[in-house]
Amino acid sequence: MEGERIAEMLGVQPWLEEMALKARLRICTSPRILHLATHGFFLPDQEWDPIENRRKRGTLSGGAGSGACGITKPVLENPLLRSGLALAGANTWCHGGSPPHEAEDGILTAEDVSGLDLLETELVVLSACETGLGEVHTGEGVFGLRRAFVLAGARALVMSLWKVPDLETRELMEDFYRRILDERRPPAEALLEAQLALKKKYPDPLCWGAFIYQGDPGIDS
């Protein structure tokens, strides 16, 4: 299991399965490295349908700034609520059940992440699907998990741009940390070298190419 192996390499006790609680993560203060191996998601903004909007509202507005047919386009949903990670209790909550109190709803949204205390965290690794995606705001960058972790204070991030396979991702992460811990390589270099090594075994870029590095390339290894 990836979480157990990475925790062993880092010399820490992992939070596995029912121990990976949202409330517990909220009070975790600035770990040097935060590795999250779970399910990630990014939900694109829904297209605005003026007819459906009229049916739901039951009224029309005709003031300044109104759109077609006099209907005012609603404010777009916060993109930090449309990306996140699944923690303990997420499946229970999604199926209408009641997770344990500390699990809350089990969904760690990007908005939740932005409120974490990661001011002294050197590296966050998001070993999950599509954790680097988000909504692009011209002149402001990508709004999603990557923006949220920066707001929380993390100096560097490793994240993915598409759905990643479990086996190959585990191999990549183990090699990545081995290069950081044993060879004292900077994380940005360690990730690239681990990807190139995995490419020799799995030529398909889908197996190794999803992960990118963002942040300070010169942090201590």
Q: State residue 220's pLDDT score.
A: 59
67 pLDDT higher than 90: no
139 vs 130: CA distance, rounded Å: 22
195 vs 216: CA distance, rounded Å: 19
181 vs 221: CA distance, rounded Å: 7
How far is the first Cα of the chain from the last one, in angstroms, to the nearest whole number? 24
218 pLDDT higher than 90: no
CA dihedral 91, 94, 99, 105 (to 10 degrees): 110
In this structure, are residues 161 and 134 in contact, taking their beta carbons and an 8 Å threshold? Answer: no
pTM recorded for the entire structure: 0.78
- The residue ranking higher by pLDDT, 9 or 18, is 9
Question: 147-186 pLDDT, tens per residue?
Answer: 899 999 999 999 988 888 889 999 999 999 999 999 999 9
Domains of the chain: 2-41+80-215 (3.40.50.1460)
Tally the residues of the chain: 221
**Quick one: which of 196, 193, 191 has its CA closest to 211?**
191
Distances (CA, A) of 161 to 189, 206, 212: 19, 10, 8
Per-residue pLDDT, averaged over 206-219, amounts to 86
216 vs 147: CA distance, rounded Å: 15
User: What percentage of the chain exceeds 70 in pLDDT?
Assistant: 76
Burial category of 56 from C-beta neighbours within 10 Å (exposed 0-12, middle 13-18, buried 19 and up): exposed
59 pLDDT higher than 70: no
**Structure tokens that stand for 42 in this block:** 């990014």
- The residue ranking higher by pLDDT, 61 or 25, is 25
**Quick one: which of 83, 151, 163 has its CA closest to 127?**
163
Burial 76-114, CB ≥16 within 10 A → b, else e? eeebbebbbbbbbbbeebeeeeebeeebbebbbbbbbbb
Question: 111-147 pLDDT, tens per residue?
Answer: 999 999 999 999 999 988 766 555 544 334 445 788 8
The tokens 């049916």 sit on which residue?
A: 55
Q: State residue 76's pLDDT score.
A: 45
96 vs 185: CA distance, rounded Å: 46
